[in-house]
Structures are given as C-alpha cells and as structure tokens.
Amino acid sequence: MPLNVLVTAGSRRVPLVQAFQRALRHVSPGGRVIVTDVNALSPTVYIADRSYAAPLSNDPHYLDEIERLCRREHVGLLVPTIDDELTLFARNTDRFARIGTRVVVSPPETTSCCDDKYQTCRALQTHGIAAASTYLPGQLPEYLPFPLFIKPRVGRGGVGAFAVRNARELDFFMDYVPNPVVQTFLDGPEYTIDVLCDFDGRVISVVPRERVVIRAGVVDRGRTVNDPALIQLGLSCARAMRFTGAVNIQCRLVDRPVVFEINPRFSGGIPLTIAAGADFPRLIVELAVGRHVPSAVGRFRDALWMTSYESAVFLDDASIGFSESPRATGLEVA
C-alpha cells in the first residue's frame, strides 16, 4: 500500500507539503499528502492532495480528531509542525502506532525541554555545550551588563522577544513579557543548524544556514555554510538530547557558536536545506518505507543562497473549503 503522509497545521508551509509530495512520487507512488488546519483559507489546504479541518491542539478532542483522520486516510506517517503540539504527540506515539501511524517526533523529554527556553540552555550547558546564559526573573545577578535579551520562557516565532538596553527597559519588559526569561545578548551572525535524525536518534544530516535577513521570525534571505564548528555543534546537541526527524538549532557566532534555542521540528527555512541537496522529507519517507538511509553529515551544496518572495493561491467563493476528498486541479497559483 502506498504511504500516506499527514502534515498537521499546514498553514503557509507550502514548500514543505510540496517536498513531501515530490518524495512520495519518487519513493511511494500513489501516496497522498494530507494536511489539517483550523482555517479554510490556509494555502496548504489547496496545495495538499486532501485537507481536513481540525481543532486547535489544546482542544480536548484534538487527538481523537487526528486519530479518526489517520484511520480514515490510512496515514502511515504523521508530521507535526508546530511547537504547541509536539509534546502532545510525543506522549501519544504508541496510540498512533497501534493504528499503523508512525509519528515523526522527538521523545517527550526532548520536546518538553526544548519548549522551555530556560531548561534548554541549562541542559546544553550541563553537557558542556555553549549556550546563552539564561535567567529567570528571580535569578538575575546583581550586576548583568547590558544589552540583554528578554523573551517568553515558552513561545515561538520571535513573538514577545526584545533587546533590552538599560535597567529602565528591563523593568518595563519584565512586566510586559509574559513568563519571561532574560538572556545575555549575543552579538554576532545568526545561524540555524538543520539536523535530521532517524527513528533511532542516529544523525543523518546536518546543514548550517546563515540567517542573513529575517522577517516575522522566518529567514527571508540566507545561505548554506559548510562550517565544521557549526556542524560539530549540531552533532553535539544530538548527543545531548535524543532527536527524531527534523530539528533546528538556533545560534549566534560569538567567537564560537552559542546556542540560544532549539526547535525539534521543521524550520521555516527548510526549503534552502532541501535545495542544497539535503532533502529531509524524502529521507524521512525513505526511512518510513524501511529503506536504509546512510549518514550524509556535511554533504550539501555550500554557499547556496535563498532569497524568498511571496506567492498566493487565488480562489473563488465556491472553491473555499477543506477538500476531504482528492483535490481538484485547476486552481490559480501565483
């Protein structure tokens, strides 16, 4: 039977959905990519082979709905995409395995640690990995040189994150940012290290990318960088924490690379990594169908630039809605 892939919270992740579609055409012909979303106007709803409405991940019936969909569509591979749902799926992998669905998610101890910016940096430092000095409000040292950086202890997309230049701003943002953590300000080029691990935690690929221009928390312009120190940092993090599937490690280069955040999911800049020859979706599909995938750490096209632009899907009123059946062709995409 062909492999069917479910990508949850599809939203704007059109390149990721298309990458899984290409992977299935090559590895498991006849397989479908299905997406869920809360919004019928999300573009992946019209790019995927099938699409379904789903509640938010904090809805008490969320897992029931996803399980029902997996049964209906004979989903063999489930790919969560947002931080909010990672630990929920990580704690329920056995539930989905019983119906024949493999969830591509890191273990719950990893997802819950990475969801907490304070615990992430503490855990890395415990393993001797350079990570940003991170403090809770009641732990701030008497003297901490400015500038600093403040952000929510649990959050994503750069929401609520601010540079702090003096004590007055610190007092304001400590009250303004919910459940904050304070980090030393890392003044240097910013990198994302895309890491792919198999279902046993073995590292298959490590691809560092410089985030040259960032817009709304996602890289707008960037380039691949085959730097041994960055690749080694990715390997060290994978030894310190057990990962499954795609992970992105965020760091800045300050004499040496220093980690400030880890997200155990696909990154927004994954199209660049795929274009550089490290096709994470295809490798995951190959693993899912039982193929041996050798390690290819450091094997990607170096100094490949990505400069992004907006695209759009155009619909008339009659076309708006979840398909819940094979998607008709003929939609205008620009």
Element (H, E) at 202: none
Predicted confidence at residue 184, as pLDDT, reads 93
Q: Which domains does the chain have, with CATH numbers?
A: 5-105+312-333 (3.40.50.20), 133-184 (3.30.1490), 187-307 (3.30.470.20)
- Omega into 147 within 30° of 0, i.e. cis? yes
Q: What percent of the chain is modeled with pLDDT above 90?
A: 89
Q: Which two tokens stand for residue 275?
A: 């274009």
H-state helical runs in 218-269: 228-240
Q: Which two tokens stand for residue 134?
A: 């991170």
Predicted confidence at residue 326, as pLDDT, reads 54
Which of 225, 204, 219 shows the shortest CA–CA distance to 284? Answer: 204
Q: Whole-angstrom Cα distance, residue 27 to residue 294?
A: 16
Range in 131-140, 213-222, 264-273 with the lowest mean pLDDT: 213-222
pLDDT tens-digit map of 256-278: 999 999 999 999 999 999 999 99
Q: Which two tokens stand for residue 191?
A: 């990198």
Q: Whole-angstrom Cα distance, residue 147 to residue 227?
A: 28
Predicted confidence at residue 299, as pLDDT, reads 96
Predicted confidence at residue 96, as pLDDT, reads 98
Predicted confidence at residue 325, as pLDDT, reads 57
Q: What are phi and psi of 332, to 5 degrees?
A: -85, 125
In this model, does residue 333 exceed pLDDT 80? no
pLDDT tens-digit map of 95-129: 999 999 999 999 999 999 999 999 999 999 999 99
Average pLDDT, the chain: 94
Predicted confidence at residue 331, as pLDDT, reads 43
In contact, 101 and 75? CB cutoff 8 Å: yes
What is the pLDDT averaged over residues 277-297? 98
Greater confidence, 158 or 218? 218
Element (H, E) at 36: strand 33-37
Predicted confidence at residue 159, as pLDDT, reads 80
Q: Whole-angstrom Cα distance, residue 204 to residue 19?
A: 18
What is the pLDDT averaged over residues 279-284? 98
Confidence of residue 32 (pLDDT cuts 50, 70, 90): very high
**Helices 280-288/14-27 angle, 10° precision:** 40
Confidence of residue 74 (pLDDT cuts 50, 70, 90): very high
In this model, does residue 46 exceed pLDDT 60? yes
Parallel/antiparallel/unpaired status of strands 162-164 and 203-215: unpaired
Greater confidence, 216 or 229? 229
Apex 6 CA angle, 59 and 23, nearest 5: 155
- Residue length of the chain: 334
